[in-house]
Amino acid sequence: MEAFDQLMIPDEQALNQITVSTTLVTNAILQNRMPAVQLLLFPGHGMSLKAHTWPVSYLEFSGEMDFRGRETEPTDPGEWEKLLTPKRLESPVKVAIVGKFSHRNSLHEEQLAAYLRGINPSLRLAQGHTWGQANFYRRSLTTYLNLAVSDLYHQFAEQLQSAVSARKIVAPISILKADGGTLPLSKIRPIESIYSGPAASIMAALTQSEATASSIIVDIGGTTTDIGLVLSGVPLLSSKGAQIGPYSTLVRSLAVRSIPVGGDSAIRATEEGFILESYRLGPAYCLGGDLPTPTDAMRYLGLIDYGSERLAEEGLASILPMERRTPEFLQELATAIIDLVAERIAGAVDSLKQAWQEEPAYKVWEVIHPHEALTFNTLVSGGGARGMSTALERRLNTPVQLGAFPEVSNALGAAMAKPTFDCTLHLDTYMKQYRVEETGEQGKWTGSLRPYREVEGFLDELAEQQAALYGIKIDDLEKESFDFFPIVQGYKTVGQIVRGAVHLRSGVIGRIRL
Amino acid sequence: MKRTGILFFPAFDWSLGDTHPEREERLLYTQEQLFEEGVLDLPQIKQYSPRVGSLHDALRAQALFPNPEAYSDSLDAHLIAAGSAILLGEARMRGDIANGFVLARPPGHHSGATVWGNRGFCTLNYEAILVNHLRARFGVKKIAIVDTDVHHGDGTQDIFYHDPNVLFISLHQDGRTIYPGTGFVNEKGGPNAWDQTVNIPLPPGTGDEGYHYVLENWVLPRLQAFAPDLIINSAGQDNHFTDPLGSMNLTANGYGRITELLKPDLAVLEGGYSIEGALPYVNLAILLALAGEDYHHVREPQKIDRSVLTLATLKPYVKELKKQQEATKPSFTTQSKAFFPKGPWIYHPHSVYYDTDGFQETRHDYIRQCNHCGGTVYIESASASSRQNSILVRIPFEACSDCEQAGYDLWDHLQHHCQDTTNGLLQNQLLDKVTVWDRKEGLREF
């Protein structure tokens, strides 16, 4: 709250929204500061568990579901008795239970949870089906991580809330998520708060571009540069869940490429010229550091006005052999350094664009209507922005705009971000079951075998309930068209599988004009 | 790292009819299984996105009669499957992947050298289009296609019947007991490609053990002797014991082993209509085997309740079959038309039934017997449905100058002297040019 007080807001009570972007959970995971969690799996048959690299240990039990959520092998409670160690019998151990296809049928997870709860009510249990997306491996690790960081997060949330309340501020507090959206402090699942930093810089850029513009977002820091894409006003989401340290998760995140290049990247002389290292060894030479950096090249060329001009020249000269330390060669070297940084950034931009162009398509319609070519502009922010803009303009061949308020751009992005919302329905009318991916809700379908309009209303209703639960307003929902799969048995249609979704894509509450 | 490419194109918005086996639902559960297993997260697996193939690519392998325009609305899904096979084939040729799996709908192996519509759920033949693309663009010389669908790969056989550089091996349930009723041991290739077609009709009831026995003792030695630059597996999955159309007894694990034995550069999905009982598991096993992962844990929930032929019963049967196959000697009819260039020409009349729309195609195939190349092919084709006569002239890859000239002469004759013919296609594989001729519209290049 110290940082908050430094803002010296004249009328704190008039605040109507506080959004926090925190690295708390990200750091706890990356530094492996997490309490132990027991992972219990129902892996069934299929691919060997060993095909994946598991960063945590697990125990396996029998019991199997298939892709329709039908039980193909029951659980064996006899096997569970080996779990009754003295520790599990008494202390509030954390246990994550995940079954293959549990997002289609949670029965086995619930059976084991009930068994364990009966033995020790103080156990902290988490079940995989509450992460309702496919991917047993990611679902297992996501359930594990979310449980592992929950105490840490909830402590933080409580302290934050009480500090804010102590100042008589009634504004609700939200947390920024990896997908660039916000959710109320008390509703967000802890693991969803990871990677809000890169998301915040994309959202900050969004506040500075036209509502439907397509932009390349480049945030050049000291050691890393984050690159994102905005397509017709909507930031590109990663096609897979976030990867954090050794953990593959189901957490939705913006597609951000982080490359180890920044204003302070070390530069070393080689026989052929120089290499741009992927690490930082202190500040730029012109700011009192030991090694030349891209910042020195910018300073030498007069692209930035901070740092010592003399030191910048001295630093760059150290790269050149004695006889070539002339203004002509220094100029050439400085330009080559800037161009190399631009080249690295452009490489990441190209790879992001390629990922977008090559998103898998599963329908004929999608393949014969590929993404239209968009006209991009580039928005550059961060410490190295000013010095790199001309080189990037040339290399990316797009107009380049400098981001405003680079020193507080993450705060700007967090403050302006809107809630995101997704509700994805999977309905099997023959099995009379529906599931919601985002909440893991599984329920009974009582409607018709071949629903049409009916299913639209059903999804709207689910979305409204879910939004109310999150405490957010959903006005302009984007509706995906439904996919209907007739289920046929012996040349007779006996039901349908219906898939559909509504979304509130990440966006900002307004735009700033300079 | 040895990488495995996958192109998963389930065509979720396309079907041949609401309750047709080839419908939206066919690969839905395969998607569920692959996604839930997290197979695409394996570091050695690379997913590719589908691409639309070109008509040029299609026409290089197959004649679309009466003309390509007749298919304008119905070809999209087929061209995507063809383009996808080519995409993965190119990735293999560039060395981006060590092998790949084209897991796309609809299938293609019943579609032959001349096409008048859909038959056996197939309109375009992806393996053939892929093979000819790789030969034209990458100069690949020798390719083997091993068809492990339960049905005879009659379309692929038809396309490569006269091609000495493509070895086509089809293992299938005996044609006397299943569609399309062909694929017997005496079908061994045309005059210039004798013994480059190998048909192995297996009795209903053959299971994993028997199938693997045939692969190890017949197919693999044959492959080894041919020493192809590339092996393509037409990976139909209807040998599975739950398949509603086939009567074989293979398991998902058995399919994993087939893949492990054949070591195909590319596997291309063909048929397989047990969409819940087999496909999710068989597709998973094939992909894992290609990726060098353990597939032995993959197990379908159902148990075999059909009787499986024992190896002891099957072995003598297969030995006898092989003997018959080896004993079959070439016997061709020499016959030509007055306007034909110098031959000899081998004449092979036959007909093709299009089950989807229920009509017959009548074919008169003429092949120029040649000791230097695959030989010029001249096919007169008439469809009972449209009452049109069309002609395919093919100048083969690496054609000798006599065969090349013979092709041009026939093509010239067609345009100026064949009064009863309305359409034609010149498939000039030598120069990678395809030209469509229409009596009304004249010549067009594709």
pLDDT tens digit sequence for A141-166: 999 999 999 999 999 999 999 999 99
Mean pLDDT rounded to a whole number for chain A: 93
Q: Please say whether the beta carbons of A202 and A193 come within 8 A.
A: no
Angstrom distance (rounded) from CA B193 to CA B368: 12
Band of the pLDDT at B68, cuts 50, 70, 90? very high
Q: A513 pLDDT exceeds 80?
A: no
pLDDT at A56: 96
Angstrom distance (rounded) from CA B331 to CA B186: 10
Report the number of secondary-structure helices (H) and strands (E) in chain B: 11, 18
Partner-chain residue, chosen from B28, B32, B42, that has the shortest CB–CB distance to A51: B42
Report CA torsion sign: B240, B244, B245, B248. Answer: positive
pLDDT at A6: 77
pLDDT at A404: 84
> SS3 for B277?
coil
Average pLDDT over residues A202-231: 92
Of residues B8, B155, B187, the one with CA closest to residue B81: B8
Partner-chain residue, chosen from A103, A240, A488, that has the shortest CB–CB distance to B23: A488
Contacts of A363 in chain B (CB under 8 A): 11-14
Nearest C-alpha of chain A: how many angstroms from B431?
A: 29
**Structure tokens, B355:** 């089950």
The reply to whether B110 belongs to the active site is yes
Residue A297's contacts (CB-CB under 8 Å, 6 or more residues apart) are: A312, A316, A333, A334, A335, A337, A338, A387
Contacts of B47 in chain A (CB under 8 A): 360
Of B12-21, B96-105, B407-416, give the lowest mean pLDDT range: B12-21
Mean pLDDT rounded to a whole number for chain B: 95
Q: A10 pLDDT exceeds 90?
A: no
**Cα B168 to chain center, whole Å?**
9
Angstrom distance (rounded) from CA A237 to CA A248: 16
- Distances, alpha carbon A424 to alpha carbons A435, A456, B391, in Å: 8, 12, 53
Main-chain phi, psi angles of A359, to 5 degrees? -55, 135
Instruction: Determine whether the interchain pair B36/A365 forms a contact, defined as Cβ–Cβ distance below 8 Å.
Output: no
Written as one letter, the residue type at A116 is: L
Angstrom distance (rounded) from CA B268 to CA B230: 13
Of A363-377, A416-430, B264-278, B292-306, give the lowest mean pLDDT range: A363-377
Nearest C-alpha of chain A: how many angstroms from B124?
A: 16
For domain B4-327, say whether CATH 3.40.50.300 is its number.
no
Residue B139's contacts (CB-CB under 8 Å, 6 or more residues apart) are: none
Residue in chain A closest to B78 (alpha carbons) equals A364
- Chain A, 424 to 453: residues with Cβ < 8 Å from chain B are none
B9 vs A: CB within 8 A: yes
pLDDT at A382: 85
B171 vs A: CB within 8 A: no
- Distances, alpha carbon A261 to alpha carbons A346, A406, B242, in Å: 12, 18, 56
Which helix or strand (DSSP H or E) is residue A291 part of? Answer: none
Residue with tokens 């550091």: A289
Partner-chain residue, chosen from B50, B281, B294, that has the shortest CB–CB distance to A367: B50
Band of the pLDDT at A514, cuts 50, 70, 90? low
Catalytic residue among B110, B133, B151, B152: B110
**Structure tokens, A507:** 């966006």
pLDDT at B115: 96
Instruction: Determine whether the interchain pair A137/B9 forms a contact, defined as Cβ–Cβ distance below 8 Å.
Output: no
Contacts of A73 in chain B (CB under 8 A): 301
Residue A342's contacts (CB-CB under 8 Å, 6 or more residues apart) are: A388, A391, A392, A394, A395, A396
CB atoms within 10 A of CB A490: 7
Partner-chain residue, chosen from A46, A240, A488, that has the shortest CB–CB distance to B19: A488
Pairing of strands B345-354, A64-65: unpaired
Q: Please say whether the beta carbons of A199 and A178 come within 8 A.
A: yes
Angstrom distance (rounded) from CA A297 to CA A373: 35
DSSP-derived secondary structure letter, B198: E
Instruction: Determine whether the interchain pair B36/A101 forms a contact, defined as Cβ–Cβ distance below 8 Å.
Output: yes
**Structure tokens, A251:** 């957490």
Q: Please say whether the beta carbons of B142 and B229 come within 8 A.
A: yes
* Domains of chain B by residue range: 4-327, 333-445
CB atoms within 10 A of CB A17: 12
% of residues, chain A, pLDDT over 70: 100
Residue A366's contacts (CB-CB under 8 Å, 6 or more residues apart) are: none
> SS3 for A294?
helix
Q: A474 pLDDT exceeds 90?
A: no
Partner-chain residue, chosen from A362, A368, A487, that has the shortest CB–CB distance to B9: A362
Q: Please say whether the beta carbons of B438 and B423 come within 8 A.
A: yes
Instruction: Determine whether the interchain pair A368/B76 forms a contact, defined as Cβ–Cβ distance below 8 Å.
Output: yes
Instruction: Determine whether the interchain pair B38/A361 forms a contact, defined as Cβ–Cβ distance below 8 Å.
Output: no
pLDDT tens figures, A338-358: 999 999 999 999 999 998 988
CB atoms within 10 A of CB B321: 21
Q: Please say whether the beta carbons of A109 and A95 come within 8 A.
A: no
Residue A84's contacts (CB-CB under 8 Å, 6 or more residues apart) are: A119
Which helix or strand (DSSP H or E) is residue B402 part of? Answer: helix B401-417
Residue B437's contacts (CB-CB under 8 Å, 6 or more residues apart) are: B411, B414, B415, B423, B424, B425, B426, B443, B444
Instruction: Determine whether the interchain pair B288/A51 forms a contact, defined as Cβ–Cβ distance below 8 Å.
Output: yes
Of A270-274, B241-245, B348-352, give the lowest mean pLDDT range: A270-274
